[in-house]
Amino acid sequence: MSTSSRIENALLGGGAALVGLAGFVACFWLLLGQGETSTPREWLAAACGTLWLLAVMYLAHRVARALEHARAARAAAAQAMLDAARERERDLVVAQLASDPHLEPLWPLICRWRLTDRAALESTLQRHHALLADPRRAHHAAGVLQGLRWSDAQLAYFDDPAARVTCVHLQPVEAALRGAGRQCWPQGQAEIGTEAALRFAALRAQLALAASVRESYEDEHPHAPPREYLRCTDCRSAIESGGGAAFPPE
Ligand SMILES: [Zn+2]
């Protein structure tokens, strides 16, 4: 149960208790003849009547809650059946595609990710064939079958160890990463991504980085680890990182 649900339930419970207490006092007052002098017998009858009324109200509330729960359980069961039917339908499509001879190179990919979008699969197959047909880029064809979707510009970057994407102030870091064999990939304008836990102080000391180069952390997604950035504030260039082994190594 979430915190907001707990607070909501506590407020509802408190409200119900107050209403119950007010009801008890009101019923008792009315049944007793609105404050007129009464005998002990009348007091007892009023108290019993009040308790009986409150018990009926409480039971009605419990019955309403039980009906609500039953309705929610029926809806959840219906949704689960619908989901299961959809999954079975998808299983059939996956099995169909994973036995289509035309798509044979993609069979492992289809089964692994349960891919069912035929247009996307055709496009992946075309990309695979295009890379295979180009002797300079044929070594990237296998990656396509693993689900990698690098663009032509990214593949050209991978094939040229001297290529740099970042600004002149970040290039010492990019060069050090690539020189150490860390995978880097261009992404966006003047930006690369890399899997490395950048040790900013060590990099600054070793590479004499410019003052415009700053480190920052960003929570881009609530379920993913925070991303780490080295940004050049002068040139709007960046190296995105986060996770991976420390760099430079400790
Ligand atoms: Zn710069």
Question: What is the chain's pLDDT, residue by residue, as a tens digit (250 residues)?
Answer: 556 667 777 777 777 778 777 877 776 677 666 666 677 787 788 778 888 888 898 999 999 999 999 999 999 999 999 999 999 999 999 999 999 999 999 999 999 999 999 999 999 999 999 999 999 999 999 999 999 999 999 999 999 999 999 999 999 999 999 999 999 999 988 999 998 889 999 999 999 999 999 998 887 677 776 788 999 999 999 999 977 899 999 8
Regarding whether 62 and 17 lie in a shared domain, the answer is yes
Distance 190 CA to ligand 1 centre (A): 9
Token couple for 225: 């680890």
Distance 154 CA to ligand 1 centre (A): 21
Domain end among 90, 117, 132:
90
pLDDT of residue 242: 78
Domain end among 65, 90, 115:
90
Q: What is the pTM of this model?
A: 0.68
Distance 209 CA to ligand 1 centre (A): 10
For residue 112, which of 148, 149, 146 has the smallest C-alpha distance?
Answer: 146
Note down the domain range covering 177.
160-250
pLDDT of residue 5: 66
The helix (H) or strand (E) run that includes residue 101 is: none
Task: Give the CA distances from residue 170 to residues 130, 157, 181, in Å, rounded to whole numbers and listed in that order.
Answer: 34, 16, 17
Distance 246 CA to ligand 1 centre (A): 23
Regarding whether 75 and 14 lie in a shared domain, the answer is yes
Regarding whether 249 and 167 lie in a shared domain, the answer is yes
Regarding whether 168 and 145 lie in a shared domain, the answer is no
Distance 229 CA to ligand 1 centre (A): 14
Distance 148 CA to ligand 1 centre (A): 30
Number of domains observed in the structure of the chain: 3
SS3 call for 221? coil
Regarding whether 117 and 175 lie in a shared domain, the answer is no
Query: What are the backbone angles phi and psi of residue 205, rounded to the nearest 5°?
Result: -70, -45
Distance 213 CA to ligand 1 centre (A): 7
Regarding whether 250 and 165 lie in a shared domain, the answer is yes
Is the residue at 143 inside a domain?
yes
Is the residue at 60 inside a domain?
yes
pLDDT of residue 243: 76
Report the alpha-carbon distance of residue 6 to residue 33 in Å, rounded. 41
pLDDT of residue 47: 79
Report the alpha-carbon distance of residue 162 to residue 170 in Å, rounded. 14
pLDDT of residue 35: 61
Distance 202 CA to ligand 1 centre (A): 19
pLDDT of residue 123: 96
Is the residue at 210 inside a domain?
yes
Distance 242 CA to ligand 1 centre (A): 21
